[in-house]
Structure 1
Amino acid sequence: MTITYEWRGDFENASLDALHADGFGTPVARTDWRARLEDHSLGWVCAWEDGVLSGFVNVGWDGGAHAFILDTVVAVDRRSRGVGAALVAVAVKEARAAKCEWLHVDFEEHLRAFYFDACGFRETSAGLIAL
């Protein structure tokens, strides 16, 4: 089966809600993803397999030099096949094409190898305040 990747791909909110619930182990929400992404994102990448949304990453930005990887998610039954790294690779390419100078990501410790080894991010110092 072939997986295709689409920058600023069209999707149904319910499909992205279901993917988030599956990928993050949370209840299905009813989020207006389309409005959220149109208002706050440089773009997003959808991974499709046989017409099913199987992966997604959001690329937020500051309107200038900085873009941010958010909500990288791959369906549980499609993991360990390079889908996540391919999503991020498209995000990197498109952020670069938009003339962004930096692509940031923060993540939980168990995702360290994914972002550093599979995706090519490098370690930096950063700060965080829990709100």
Structure 2
Amino acid sequence: MTITYEWRGEVDNSALNELHAEGFGHPVGQVDWSARLQRHSLGWVCAREADRLVGFVNVAWDGGAHAFLLDTVVARPCRSNGVGSTLIRVAAEGCRAAGCAWLHADFEEHVRAFYFEACGFRETAAGLIAL
């Protein structure tokens, strides 16, 4: 399996909507990812096997020192092969090059080991308000 990774790579809305639905267990949406990413993101990373999108992570930011991972997703057949951790590494490199000092990630308990062990995050205190 040869996977390529691209910071701020071209996004096909259909392919990303399908991957997002597979990864997060919801029906395929009609999100205009291209417009959303251009408007709100510092960057994003696309992982491709040949021409097929197999991984994605979005990086939002505050315009300064803080960047935030969103929508980290890897296609089922490519999981547990380092694709996700490479997505995060490439995203961190893009954030560092943009002058960010911190990369934040929120996640559910079942992916805790991925973020802490595979990606090198450390635990911090944080708060959340459900809206």
Same fold (TM > 0.5): yes
Correspondence for 1:89: 89
Segments of 4+ in structure 1 off by > 2 A?
Answer: none
Matched, 1:117 2:106: no
Match of 2:24 in 1: 24
> Hey, what does 1:47 align to over in structure 2?
47
What amino acid is aligned across from residue 74 of structure 2 in structure 1?
V
CA RMSD of aligned residues (A): 0.6
State how far apart, in whole Å, the 2-side matches of 1:77 and 1:23 are.
Answer: 11
Give SS of 1:48's match.
strand
Amino acid at match of 2:71: D
Cα deviation for residue 50 of structure 1 reads 1.6
Asked whether the 8 Å contact 2:11–2:33 carries over to 1, the reply is: no
Show structure 2 runs of 5+ residues with no match.
none
Aligned to 2:56: 56
The answer as to 2:108 corresponding to 1:108 is yes
Letter matched to residue 30 of structure 1 = Q
Output the amino acid matched with 1:17: N
Q: Name the counterpart of 1:130.
A: 130
> Equivalent residue for 2:14?
14
Structure 1 residue runs without a partner (length 5+):
none
TM-score, normalised with respect to structure 2: 0.98
User: How far does residue 76 in structure 1 lie from its aligned partner after superposition?
Assistant: 1.0
Instruction: Give distance in 1, aligned partners of 2:33 and 2:53.
Output: 14
Measured after TM superposition, the shift of residue 23 of structure 1 is 1.2
